[in-house]
Structure 1
Amino acid sequence: MADERAPHVHPTLDDPVVTGLSEVVGGPMGTRARPHRWWTPLRVLLLLTACTFALGLVQKAPCSVAEGKDQNWVYSHMCYTDLKPLYVPRGMVEHAWPYSDDAQTRARYEVMEYPVGISYWAWGTAWVTHWLTGSPDVEERGRQPVADLAAAPDVDDEQNVFLLVNALGFAALALVAVALLSRAHPVRPWDAAAFALSPTLLLTGLINWDMIAVALVAGALWSWSRDRPGLTGVLIGLGTAAKLYPLFLLGGLLVICLRQRRYAAFALATVTAVAAWLLANAPGYLTGPEAWKHFWEFNSERAADLGSVWLVIDQAGDVGFSAHTINLWSWILFGAWCLGVFVIGMTAGRGVRPEAAVPRLAQLGYLVVVGFLLVNKVYSPQYVLWLLPLAVLARPRWRDQIVWQASEVVYFCTVWWYLGGYLQPSGGGDAGFYWLGIAIRVLGELYLAAVIVRDMYRPHHDPVVAQERVAASR
């Protein structure tokens, strides 16, 4: 592990935006300045992440403490989270195993519509919630109608505890993620500040369980930077067991390993990823294969949904896309996008010095994942977290991070206003301002993708490569 007191790139000397802002506190880092003994970059980043997550909890608080408010009030305050509404309907109120094949359990509760990693986490945090609230009698609850449980005051209190337990877990995952990101480039720990101070982390970190996969992706980026393909594969496999998108990092590894002729490293990463995914899925599949299949069936049958380009086309053109049509064309378009990323990855950097020739995993990972999100049939507000660890390492420049994350914040606002009915024209009709919010988000993601591709073809624009060249010349 690198010594944090070793020389590193200071952001006031590296990033024009930070340089300009530093004038408020005396200007950029001077040649005679010395780092603080205790306040290392990692400790500062951890503190910033903790503050961001605490503010995120405050932002979600109105939906927990307010009583007697309707769903539109929740949307207008933009404090919605999936955690509380799923506590009773998915059986966590009785601490039911998410993959139980018990007939009574399945008759009372719906199956979790998420991969196993999220289901296990939710089940575990439900156990902690029950323990903290005095271990309620689940057998007695099993004799009550589910509707009565949902209305019970003690269950309402449990839901708030459940949210807090998960919030603490997500905060821990965010701290782990920022620590790993700060060590991906030992001389550039401050690149992770765009993660620690991210407004999208603040606004969306508590909506769903996506932080599980985010931390595992950060771990994969770190382990690959340390030349540990086996561990990288394990983390990708575990991440895929929580959300599908970490699987796409294998595409980035394929390009890198082909360029560097590291075929054994790619094979090792792939085999360990598959093994980790299989082991993670085994308990769920073996205890309830039908319940395990629900995630795949749910996503296959889903039609055009929130935030997707398909929804805009469907509403604007009154097309009426079927789920099958969207599934087919989404995968065709995504396949074409991946082929384009493969070509870019194999051709970018040719003819330049070897250390700048091969694109980085974060760059390729961002391009592949953003392509998936652009053609996917749903874009929930928290999906921005999928891109966050990749983006902050792929393009560590505050100007570009601000442009991209601002577009995501615009979408975050418009999706809640749309759900609350606040964007409906007074004379009726479709919510065109919601389509505008989706378009702004898409343009922001494409902007960052374009800058990353520019960096790959012209590495002298890439701050990481530029720093490596400076270090090599010394």
Structure 2
Amino acid sequence: MTSTEVRAPLLARTVPYLPLGLIAALGATLAYVVRLPCRTGGWNDQVSTYTNFCYTDIYPLYFDRGLATQNPYFADVPFDKQVEYPVVLGEVMQAISWIVRWLEPDQVAQAVRFYDITVILLGLCLVGGVLLMAAVAGPKRRWDALWYAISPAVVLAAYINWDLVAGVLSMGMLLAWGRRRQVLAGVLLGLAIATKFYPLMFVGALFLLTLRTARWRPFLVTIGSAAGAWIVVNAPFMIFAWDGWRRFYVFSQERGVDWGSPWLFFQNKGWPVLGESDVSMLGMVSLAALCLGIAVLTLAAPRRPRLAQICFLALAAFMMTNKVWSPQFVLWLVPFAVLARPNWKPLALWQLAEVWYFAAIWLYLLSQPPLSRNDLGIGDDTYFTAVWGRVITIGIMMAFVVRDILRPGKDVVRQSDIDDQAGGVFEGAPDRFTLSSVTR
């Protein structure tokens, strides 16, 4: 075989990814352009930040979390000034702060450089996540990754926080599992959980499909690798900086109902009156009920569901029952929603709801204390139309995915003669345990 004959298949596999990577780079650039009005000084003025829709956590946290002078986990600072993120994300922030302190003597200039370098990293994560998603989707559905590359909600939310780091790790985990690289999948899953907590929901999805197929060894290898990776990156901080390490977990437990959550609507309206402890309990009970429903669905479906379908349902359930639903959480769901059901109509409807929420939250904050600019902002009723818009449109997508699981002939992915693009050892596996077998 000549070198040309060897290169030809490789080129055929590589070329389709190039336009996707370029389009994702365009999406990353547009996300940067969206925040240019604030980068030139608007972040120092809350009114200007909200009216230009260019808020980000990246710039203010450089000062508020002491990144300009110290390591956020080891610093002797008040508990509420410590970094409230898991350690992978916290150390990414720390590494970038070291670079900018070396580049710039002035702290204000450092904060702008901190934002710029962080955005470069997040842009690379977006491009990487899109390419990994395209690889997961497979040759027949590769272009579905365009939803992650350049959809309006992704562009608007990309640089609010550091969520794209967890996104690329999650897509890497899904691809590694699909390629039957269980150790790599576990390591990436452990790192993703040590970056943002939401990838923990994927453990449940893997468990349910393992229970149905009895493919226990790959599952246990993956979970063991995930636990090992999580311990390796967390142990040094647990040992040497316990207070800084536990800040994320304490903050998550004690945090009250915040913007975007449906629970805020009930608190605002007072029907019923919900205290913080009530919401925490109701949130856990609601999530448990939804997860139980997903488990029954997985084990009762006439055909084994696809991994992306269960991951999507589990993640959507987590978001809808959480005490907090920030605008950037859309980045968590987009790739899994598209992989679960790449039908453009419900996806487009959901994107419209997310864009409306992105505008509504900043306009609503303008009318709230301490700004209280009712001339510029919107009131409670208008804001909560955006909150429920997200809940309803995601609920519609969940209903369609449930329908596809119960009626596999309606699944547009399986109509392309695909069993499970990300299934790995689950793909083509016979059932070993279902609820109907228990009944028989």
Q: Which secondary structure does the structure 2 equivalent of 1:78 belong to? A: coil
How far did residue 228 of structure 1 move? 2.2
Any conservation in 1 of the 2:366–2:374 contact (CA below 8 Å)? no
User: How do 1:1-400 residues align onto structure 2 when only pairs under 5 Å count?
Assistant: 40-66=15-41, 70-94=45-69, 96-100=70-74, 102=75, 105-106=76-77, 110-133=81-104, 136=105, 154-187=106-139, 188-317=141-270, 321-348=274-301, 350=302, 357-400=303-346
AA aligned opposite 2:96? T
Partner of 1:31: none
How far did residue 397 of structure 1 move? 2.2
Partner of 1:144: none
Instruction: Find the aligned partners of 2:43 and 2:162 in 1 and give their Cα distance.
Output: 26
Instruction: Find the aligned partners of 1:4 and 1:412 in 2 and give their Cα distance.
Output: 46
Any conservation in 1 of the 2:43–2:55 contact (CA below 8 Å)? no
Instruction: Find the aligned partners of 2:67 and 2:43 in 1 and give their Cα distance.
Output: 23
Any conservation in 1 of the 2:135–2:175 contact (CA below 8 Å)? yes
Any conservation in 2 of the 1:91–1:109 contact (CA below 8 Å)? no
Structure 1, unaligned runs of 5 or more = 8-35, 137-153, 351-356
AA aligned opposite 1:420? L
Instruction: Find the aligned partners of 2:411 and 2:57 in 1 and give their Cα distance.
Output: 38
Q: Which secondary structure does the structure 2 equivalent of 1:303 belong to? A: coil
Any conservation in 1 of the 2:128–2:168 contact (CA below 8 Å)? yes
How far did residue 6 of structure 1 move? 6.9
Cα shift readout 1:358-400 (whole Å, capped 9, x = no counterpart): 2122111110111111110111100111111211211122223
Partner of 2:403: 454
Partner of 1:25: none
AA aligned opposite 2:112? N
Cα shift readout 1:178-234 (whole Å, capped 9, x = no counterpart): 111111132221121111122122111100011111111111111121122222222
How far did residue 319 of structure 1 move? 5.5
Any conservation in 1 of the 2:360–2:378 contact (CA below 8 Å)? no
Instruction: Find the aligned partners of 2:197 and 2:260 in 1 and give their Cα distance.
Output: 18
How far did residue 109 of structure 1 move? 8.3
Over 3 Å counting, the alpha-carbon distance change for 1:424 and 1:333 in structure 2 is: farther
Cα shift readout 1:396-430 (whole Å, capped 9, x = no counterpart): 2222321122111111111111111189878x996
Partner of 2:423: none
How far did residue 255 of structure 1 move? 1.6
Over 3 Å counting, the alpha-carbon distance change for 1:122 and 1:425 in structure 2 is: closer
Any conservation in 1 of the 2:367–2:379 contact (CA below 8 Å)? no
Instruction: Find the aligned partners of 2:281 and 2:7 in 1 and give their Cα distance.
Output: 49
Over 3 Å counting, the alpha-carbon distance change for 1:90 and 1:246 in structure 2 is: same
Any conservation in 2 of the 1:304–1:310 contact (CA below 8 Å)? yes
Instruction: Find the aligned partners of 1:5 and 1:342 in 2 and give their Cα distance.
Output: 45
Any conservation in 2 of the 1:4–1:40 contact (CA below 8 Å)? no
AA aligned opposite 1:155? Q
Instruction: Find the aligned partners of 2:378 and 2:136 in 1 and give their Cα distance.
Output: 49
Partner of 2:438: none
Over 3 Å counting, the alpha-carbon distance change for 1:378 and 1:68 in structure 2 is: closer
- TM normalised by structure 1 equals 0.81
Over 3 Å counting, the alpha-carbon distance change for 1:37 and 1:218 in structure 2 is: closer
Over 3 Å counting, the alpha-carbon distance change for 1:38 and 1:208 in structure 2 is: same
Root-mean-square deviation over aligned CA pairs:
2.6
Instruction: Find the aligned partners of 2:418 and 2:61 in 1 and give their Cα distance.
Output: 51
Corresponding residue pairs, total: 410
Cα shift readout 1:139-171 (whole Å, capped 9, x = no counterpart): xxxxxxxxxxxxxxx222111111110000001
Structure 2, unaligned runs of 5 or more = 1-5, 420-440
How far did residue 59 of structure 1 move? 0.2
Q: Which secondary structure does the structure 2 equivalent of 1:278 belong to? A: helix
Q: Which secondary structure does the structure 2 equivalent of 1:227 belong to? A: coil
Instruction: Find the aligned partners of 1:274 and 1:108 in 2 and give their Cα distance.
Output: 27
- TM normalised by structure 2 equals 0.87
Instruction: Find the aligned partners of 1:309 and 1:293 in 2 and give their Cα distance.
Output: 27
